[in-house]
Amino acid sequence: MTTKIKIHYQPKAGDTKDWNLWVWPDGMSGKVMNFTGTDSFGKVADLTVDGDWNKIGFIVRTDSWEKDGGDRFIDNIWNGQNEVWVKAGDDKVYTSPPDGEYRDIPTYNHLEVKFNYYRYDLNYNNWDLWVWTDKSDGQPVKLDKTTSFGKQGTLVLDNLNGATKVGFIVRKDDWSAKDTEGDRFITKFTADGKAEVWLAQGQKRIYDNPAKIDRSPRITKAAIDELNKITFETNFPFAFEEGKNPGIVINGAEIDKVEAAGTVTDGLTNKVVIYTKDELDLSKTYTISKEGFGQATVQMGKVIGSKSFEDRFYYDGKDLGNTYTKEKTNFRLWAPTASEAKLVTYDKWNSQTGTEIPMTRSEKGTWTAELSGDKKGLLYTYKVKIGDSWNEAVDPYVRATSVNGDKGAVVDLATTNPKNWSTKKPSFKNREDAIIYETHIRDLTIDPKSGVSSAHRGKFLGVAETGTRGPNGVKTGLDHIKDLGVTHVQFIPMYDYNTASVDETKLDQPQYNWGYDPKNYNVPEGSYSTDPYTPTVRINEMKQMIQTLHDNNLRVVMDVVYNHMFSAQESNFNKLVPGYYFRYNEDGTLSNGTGVGNDTASEHKMMRKFIVDSVIYWAKEYHIDGFRFDLMGIHDVDTMNPVRKALDNIDPSIITIGEGWDLGTALDPALKANQKNAAKMPGIAHFNDDIRDGLKGSVFDGNDKGFVNGKTGMELRIKKGVVGGINYNDQIMTFSQDPEQTVTYVEAHDNLTLWDKLAITNKSDTEEVRKQMHKLATSIVLTSQGLSFIHAGQEFMRTKGGNENSYNAGDAVNMLDWTRRSQFNAEVEYFKGLVKVRKSHPAFRMTNADDIRQHLKFIDAPANSVAYVLDGNANGDKAEKIVVAYNANRTPVEIQLPRKGKWDILVNGVKASDEALDKLNGDKVKVPALSTFVLTFHDKKAEKEDQD
């Protein structure tokens, strides 16, 4: 069975982007579907979706997940509303052309419609239809023919003068009752104006085929919504009298009362709420029955995640997963809605059957098992009985797995530590000191010219190789990063991600993915190890990598993606406790603020616990120095604050940053962990998209320009970025309460690289001009307050050939090109100089908003330029004054310096250094086109003290 829909989309005038659609049936996962044609309105998609659906959601987007609007829905498909129109920049879904009719709609002078009507109670007395057209008044149509389906009435109308539709209401002939509320319409007819439809009692849907109608009265829903409350629905209405039980029986529970939940019409309803005398045992299986409607198993409903559920079942122990010793291994699983649970052990990674060991019900919805003896290396899963079905899943808390993460493994973590494993880390004082370099394990070393040994390219151990050299002897890999002077290396996902992205059994075949589709959160990704089949190898090799980075004075940030999973239905979470770990809309559909089909429910206490426990595990076991939360705005404030607190208890120098976008997830706006609520989350930094787009133009519009590439009037946005997003004054503010809450950046793994963006916005400019724009943008990042963030290869103007979403584009697009690195040596040296300037001058890294307001003052500057002074030995800086000037013009500008005297020039738009490149004696400086100048001033007293 399929559902046909038609979507019309009108882009903005001149928009040439490759738009497509992300389409999902109500409550199900989505997939990409393409537009199939065009009409005078715009793009058209004639789509067929598997299944029989009344509601289908869609997003207009590009492959890089640039969206035009949010989630949109086609509703009432069963009533003929399967065609919609949407316009760029307008979130409304129109069921008719919004700018006036432009189609040739068929018109009819003669119409003949057969109405077939079925009542499950077989009582057709006094029921008929009230029917009209858009060219004729209403009239009754009798149901005067008996058929094998039920009753039939026929409408025949002539001389209609161009009718296009037939409207109708099924009613009692004296209007004392209607079968369903609202008018219904028929709009599809044969060429000669004929149509036949089938209708069923209590259902608003207009059927085009009687085979689609289930005429057997049955229970369609019986769901526990509170510990003593069940919502009960049927496909056809039944007789109901308030205060009386309409013949409903629950096997295993006694009913206290029954109340109507739906509309009661003529003493009939199809939805009631049942209250039980005692609280229901959620681990038991209940059946419910009603005479004439059969029997059904009671399912879990809104009780999952309710306050009473959380109070009853929150488990705060630290032993979830497996706890290993040589003498025994204990297992503890949280599965409060399971009626039975089993531990299943396996001999091999590809064993199809295992040994099932019953688990014992324990406290707070947990189940336990104990295996005596040394079980190191044992492979296992859990099986739980939910209702009438058994689900098998990998332990969410597992710390080691077999290949592809399909079975958990018992592991002695102490044996996975490399020989030189140490808790000693590179020194790091303030979070504002961070200069973060974002890369991908594979990208860094997979280039054959990287100088990394072939066995280790694209692996943890490839990152750990030192002394590697590339074309013309340039440093590569780890040596290159160390040479840049950055403080942190951020790796995009390196936990175990879904097999559909990278199959660890087929690593001899071309495969690539960024890894934003989690499978096992607490396990390293096997494709980055030299042996994904042996559970301990990936753990040991990841630790070797981290230790080597630490030994080379680099800290490690881990990109974590707790906001969604590859598939809610297929996730281990959902198999073990269905409905708990994911967020749902009021109508029971999955919340989809992530745009990939599901949002995790961090507000649920056991999901929150999992996130906090997982972060603690990585910080302690792997000595991780920072966490970057993907789509952090999906989470809630009350999860992110405990994360920060837990890390503070381990090591306050561990940084926490995240994407604080305001996403359309089913969560109270006051609770969302986004930029708007930054004040509620001290110590947590948000990526500053305002300065990102202010510098180069919107990431959602390839042609949009910013400060460095020619857009005028951007000075205020640059100033907002310079101060670290704090509330500097009434005009200059973004979201930060403190500079440690801002991540300043211009490019990341997402969207076009800065170089590729400039190639689009400034295609007529020479490469040298674009290089100056690029260097100007990077210099602003590294001379602004807050945490600095650099995308790998930004220092040599990385290109991905215009690919703005290279998550699966392969090595040719994604790898760091070491030949290009050698060709852009001057630009790399400039970048290194900027880093030295930032690190040698603490004035660029002030640690509170008051200091920024006191010591940073903006200087008058010509249009399309920004200048400021860092005054008064800011943040203990040796320089009494530092002047920074950014000139985005195509001609030089003159800046009046705050003091006349001898100034050292550290950055001149061509070179950068922590030592003077040149001297200037006076009170004015001329800043060349598309350049940054940094000048320092030391008074003689300070110089003398320095010498003493």
φ/ψ of residue 182, rounded to 5: 95, 155
Helix, strand, coil percentages, rounded to 5, for the chain? 25, 30, 45
Report the C-alpha gap between 456 and 476 in whole angstroms.
14
Residue of 670, 671, 661, 665 whose CA lies nearest to 735: 661
Sign of the C-alpha dihedral computed for residues 140, 141, 143 and 144 taken in this order? positive
Report the C-alpha gap between 325 and 379 in whole angstroms.
16
Measure the CA dihedral 541/547/549/551, to 10°: -150
Residue of 882, 911, 909 whose CA lies nearest to 897: 882
Region at 946 (left for phi over 0; alpha for psi -120 to 50; beta for the rest): alpha
C-alpha atoms less than 13 angstroms from C-alpha of 636 in its C-beta half-sphere: 19
CA 606 to chain centre: 20
- Paired with 256 in beta bridges are none
Structure tokens at 299: 């399912």
- What Cα–Cα distance (Å) separates residue 869 from each residue in 647, 721, 874, 885? 35, 15, 10, 9
What angle, 0 to 180 degrees and rounded to 10, lies between the N-to-C axes of helices 825-840 and 477-484? 50
Kind plus residue range of the DSSP H or E element containing 111: strand 111-118
721 neighbors 694 (Cβ within 8 angstroms): yes
Structure tokens at 21: 């659609």
Residue of 757, 764, 819 whose CA lies nearest to 791: 757
Clarify whether 599 is annotated catalytic: no
Residue appearing with tokens 């133009």 = 697
Residues 140, 143, 147, CA angle at the centre, nearest 5°?
A: 160
CA 36 to chain centre: 28
φ/ψ of residue 307, rounded to 5: -60, -40
Q: How many CB atoms lie within 10 A of CB 416?
A: 22
Q: How many CB atoms lie within 10 A of CB 414?
A: 8
Burial of 130-162, coded b for 16+ CB within 10 Å and e otherwise, reads bbbbebbeeeebebeeeeeebbbbebebeebee
First-to-last alpha carbon distance for the chain, in angstroms, is 87
504 neighbors 510 (Cβ within 8 angstroms): no
577 neighbors 336 (Cβ within 8 angstroms): yes
Which residue of the set 630, 750, 765, 827 is catalytic?
630
Residue appearing with tokens 């490839």 = 462
- Paired with 21 in beta bridges are 33, 60
φ/ψ of residue 894, rounded to 5: -105, 135
- Burial (CB < 10 A; 0-12, 13-18, 19+), residue 510, is exposed
- Paired with 238 in beta bridges are 269
Report the C-alpha gap between 613 and 628 in whole angstroms.
16
What angle, 0 to 180 degrees and rounded to 10, lies between the N-to-C axes of helices 767-782 and 689-696? 160
Which residue of the set 71, 504, 559, 659 is catalytic?
659
744 neighbors 789 (Cβ within 8 angstroms): yes
φ/ψ of residue 294, rounded to 5: 80, -155
Clarify whether 278 is annotated catalytic: no
Residue of 615, 602, 680, 605 whose CA lies nearest to 641: 680
Residue of 668, 664, 605 whose CA lies nearest to 308: 605
Catalytic positions:
630, 659
